[in-house]
Amino acid sequence: MTDNMIVVSDLKKSFKINRVLRNVTFTVRKGSIFALLGSNGAGKTTVVKILSTLMKPDSGNVTINGLDVVRQGYYVRECISLTGQFTAVDEVLTGRENLNLIGQLKRLNGVKNKVNEWLSFFHLQDAADRKVSTYSGGMRRRLDIAMSLMGKPQIIFLDEPTTGLDPQNRIAMWDLVKELAVGGTTVFLTTQYLEEAEYLADYIAILHGGKILAEGTPQYLKTIMPHRGAQLNFQSEEQAAEAMALLNENGITIESFEQKLPSLEDVFLALTDEKGGK
Amino acid sequence: MHKLKGISFLDSWIMFKRCLLISLRNPEALLMATITPFFLMLLFGTVFGNIADVGSLNYIDFIVPGIIMQSLGQASQHSAMNVATDMTKGIIDRFRSMSISKSAVLIGHTGAGVVRNTISSTVIIITAFVLGFRPHGGFVDWLIVVALLTLVNIAISLIAVLCGLISKTPEGSSGLMFPLFILPFISSGFAPTDTMSGGIRWFAEIQPMTPIIDSIRALTLGLPLGNSLWIALAWCIAIIIIAFTAAAQVYKRRLS
């Protein structure tokens, strides 16, 4: 047995004349956090749908946990869990009923206790018996994730998990993802934010133009990505001016330090230029 | 496919309970589906009843089967809308990415549809009694009526599920169901077909509503049954098989 949880090779998918995935190849190690980074319309969701057996590829091979997603879809579905871009909850049912439904479908033992555990884990116990239609966006997302986590799947797919969340909920989501990986779950997430991918992932693949443009650990990608600037804010104009000259020698108090990350567009430009120039 | 029959039955059962629970949260829908045929019954039974001539029969006795068909069509709209709602929301992707039987979602919706339709038809029949419906069929006749209505119910619910799958929006799905509200009027439901002329008569005589309505009428009023029951059964079984196969196909295709 290998340590690879997901192996994707030569994946192709077109919608009519639109070749969304031209040649996608990557592997995801067991227990790691893998981020598929790409801008809107890059085909991230298409990859997630193929990996979670919702869509058939035109060609190429995808195995999950050693199982072929096309031929052994049923067994693949037993070890995965999907949280799509749109919250997958029943609006007219309560949070508890939603969790119950998934627990029953997964034939879990002691569904009632597990439902209570997840409700309190996601701080939803007070809202448990209210209709989901009364929940806030963040609460819905938490319920959605709780439903995905019922039955402890080996792999969880999170398609843009932080899109539409406020900063507070976003940080809570990041903590959760880290926690899941610590618990041994393999996390496959998609994002359009470089910052999110760098913070969370053990391994990042950048999807652009239907191909994996670059991949590697965040540390490695930093070395091949365009240069980053840093914006330094000082207490006064004078200090700032002085700092320009003395920064190397003297320890001037820096009040705040803000890293300027390159935008995804910059990354694409830099990486495609580099490849084209060779 | 890899799953034992019993387990996939359990999936359908869980889905059925889910669909029922969703219906319970929306009682207005069922109320609306019952009120329309109720007023239709009131209108035809009182206002038109006096001018309609259906031979020796009481007009209210005559129209009960037609109104029941109407109520089935009305109530089934909600199956179509619920299916369409599921299909347009993320929940269907969650179900599809779980190891549950593929037809469970469709069977669950069909089952809940049958329950809703049964409630609505029961209300209609009770109303009919209050308005003067006096059937004189025997116990066995009624058993056959219930069995036939159940089959019709399943067939119509499956058509509704299919409409829900085909349409892009919940609103569109109820539009697709429109022919089902009209068909009972162009049948033997409200007037004997031999009072109709030309093309309408031809259509009324060949469409499935007529043998179904004729069978229920004959069984409840003790009239000669002829071969209408067999034709009705054949229609129901054919529709069930075709609608289920088509729904399963559309369900698979729409999602890949």
CA–CA distance from B217 to each of A16, B207, B230 (Å)?
53, 16, 14
- String of DSSP letters for chain A: --SEEEEEEEEEEEETTEEEEEEEEEEEETT-EEEEE--TTSSHHHHHHHHTTSS--SEEEEEETTEETTTTHHHHHHHEEEE-SS----TTSBHHHHHHHHHHHTT-TTHHHHHHHHHHHTT-GGGTTSBGGGS-HHHHHHHHHHHHHTT--SEEEEESTTTT--HHHHHHHHHHHHHHHHTT-EEEEEES-HHHHHHH-SEEEEEETTEEEEEE-HHHHHHHSPP-EEEEE-SSHHHHHHHHHHTTTS-PPPSEEEEEPPPHHHHHHHHHHHHHH-
Residue with more model confidence, B168 or A46: A46
Look at residue A132 in the predicted model and tell me its pLDDT: 94
Query: In this structure, are residues B243 and B162 in contact, taking their beta carbons and an 8 Å threshold?
Result: yes
Characterize the bridge pairing of strands A4-15 and A18-29.
antiparallel
Q: What percent of chain B has pLDDT over 90?
A: 45
* Whole-number average pLDDT of chain B: 88
Range scoring the smallest mean pLDDT among B29-43, B91-105, B130-144: B29-43
Q: Are A210 and A43 in contact (CB under 8 A)?
A: yes
Q: Please report the DSSP string for A123-192 in residue order.
A: T-GGGTTSBGGGS-HHHHHHHHHHHHHTT--SEEEEESTTTT--HHHHHHHHHHHHHHHHTT-EEEEEES
For residue B256, is pLDDT > 70?
no
| Predicted pLDDT at B88 | 86
- Cβ-defined contacts of A195-202 (< 8 Å, 24+): A195/A261, A196/A35, A196/A162, A197/A35, A197/A37, A198/A222, A198/A261, A199/A174, A200/A33, A200/A35, A200/A174, A201/A33, A201/A34, A201/A35, A202/A29, A202/A32, A202/A33, A202/A34
Q: Is the pLDDT of residue B4 over 70?
A: no
Q: Chain B interface residues facing chain A, Cβ-Cβ under 8 Å?
A: 1-3, 10-11, 14, 18, 21-22, 25-26, 89-100, 255-256
Of B42-46, B138-142, B157-161, give the range with the top mean pLDDT: B157-161
**Are B22 and A87 within 8 A, CB to CB?**
no
Residue contact A93–B21, C-beta within 8 A: yes
- Specify whether domain A4-226 bears CATH 3.40.710.10: no
Looking at the predicted structure, is the pLDDT value of residue B159 above 50? Answer: yes
Contact B98 A53 (CB under 8 A): no
- B132's tokens: 């003067």
pLDDT at B192: 87
Considering chain B, what percentage of its residues have pLDDT values greater than 70?
96
The three-state secondary structure class of B184 is coil
Half-sphere exposure of residue B226, counting CA atoms within 13 Å on the CB side? 13
Task: Name which residue leads in pLDDT, B32 or A93.
Answer: A93
Using the predicted structure, report yes or no on whether residue B2 has a pLDDT greater than 50. no
pLDDT in tens, B63-110: 899 999 998 998 898 899 999 999 888 788 899 889 888 889 999 999
- In chain B, where the domains are located: 5-254
Q: What are the angstrom distances between the C-alpha of B29 and each of B79, B110, B194, B226? A: 11, 16, 37, 38
CA distance B11 to chain A (A): 6
**Long-range contacts of the stretch A121-128 (C-beta < 8 A, 24+):** A121/A146, A122/A146, A124/A95, A127/A95, A128/A94, A128/A95, A128/A96
Residue B143 pLDDT grade (very low, low, confident, very high; cuts 50, 70, 90): very high
| Residue A131 CB neighbours (<10 A) | 15
Contact status, residue A131 vs residue A93, Cβ threshold 8 Å: yes
Q: Answer whether A222 touches B (CB < 8 Å).
A: no
- In sequence order, what are the residues at sequence separation of 6 or more whose Cβ sits closer than 8 angstroms to the Cβ of residue A122? A142, A143, A145, A146
Strands A203-208 and A186-191: unpaired
- Does the distance separating the beta carbons of B96 and A53 come in below 8 Å? yes
Q: B90: helix, coil or strand?
A: coil
Give the H or E element holding residue B230.
helix B228-254
Q: How many CB pairs under 8 A join A and B?
A: 71
- pLDDT tens, residue by residue, A87-134: 889 999 999 999 999 999 999 989 999 999 999 988 899 999 999 999
Q: Which pLDDT score, from 0 to 100, does residue B34 have?
A: 80
Query: Nearest 10 degrees: CA dihedral of B25, B27, B33, B35?
Result: -170
In this structure, how many other beta carbons lie within 10 angstroms of the beta carbon of residue A144? 24
Residue A78: which of B11, B91, B99 has the nearest Cβ?
A: B99
Distances (CA, A) of B42 to B32, B48, B132, B188: 15, 9, 11, 19
Q: What is the pLDDT of residue A172?
A: 86
In contact, A186 and A35? CB cutoff 8 Å: no
Q: State the smallest CA–CA distance between residue B7 and chain A in angstroms.
A: 10
Going residue by residue through chain A, which has 278 residues, state the pLDDT in tens, using 9 for 90 and above: 568 999 999 999 999 888 999 999 999 999 999 999 998 888 999 999 999 998 999 999 999 999 999 999 889 999 999 998 888 899 999 999 999 999 999 999 899 999 999 999 888 999 999 999 999 888 898 899 999 999 889 999 999 988 878 888 888 889 989 998 998 999 999 999 888 999 999 999 999 989 999 899 988 888 877 666 666 677 777 776 777 667 656 555 555 566 666 777 777 777 776 554 43
What is the DSSP-derived secondary structure letter of residue B44?
Answer: I
CA A54 – CA A56 distance, rounded (Å)? 7
The ranges assigned to domains in chain A are: 4-226
Sheet holding A33-37, edge to edge: A67-68, A59-64, A4-15, A18-29, A211-216, A203-208, A33-37, A186-191, A155-159, A80-83
Bridge partners for A6 per DSSP: A28, A64
Query: In chain B, whose CA is at the least distance from the CA of A78?
Result: B99
CA terminus-to-terminus distance, chain A: 38
- Decide if B94 and A80 are in contact by the 8 Å CB cutoff: no
Query: pLDDT by residue (tens digit) across B190-246?
Result: 888 888 888 899 999 899 999 999 999 999 988 888 899 999 999 999 999 999 999
**CB nearest B91 (choices: A53, A75, A88):** A88
Q: What are phi and psi of A123, to 5 degrees?
A: 55, 45
Q: How distant is the Cα of A245 from the closest Cα of chain B, in angstroms?
A: 57
Q: CB A147 to CB B21 under 8 A?
A: no
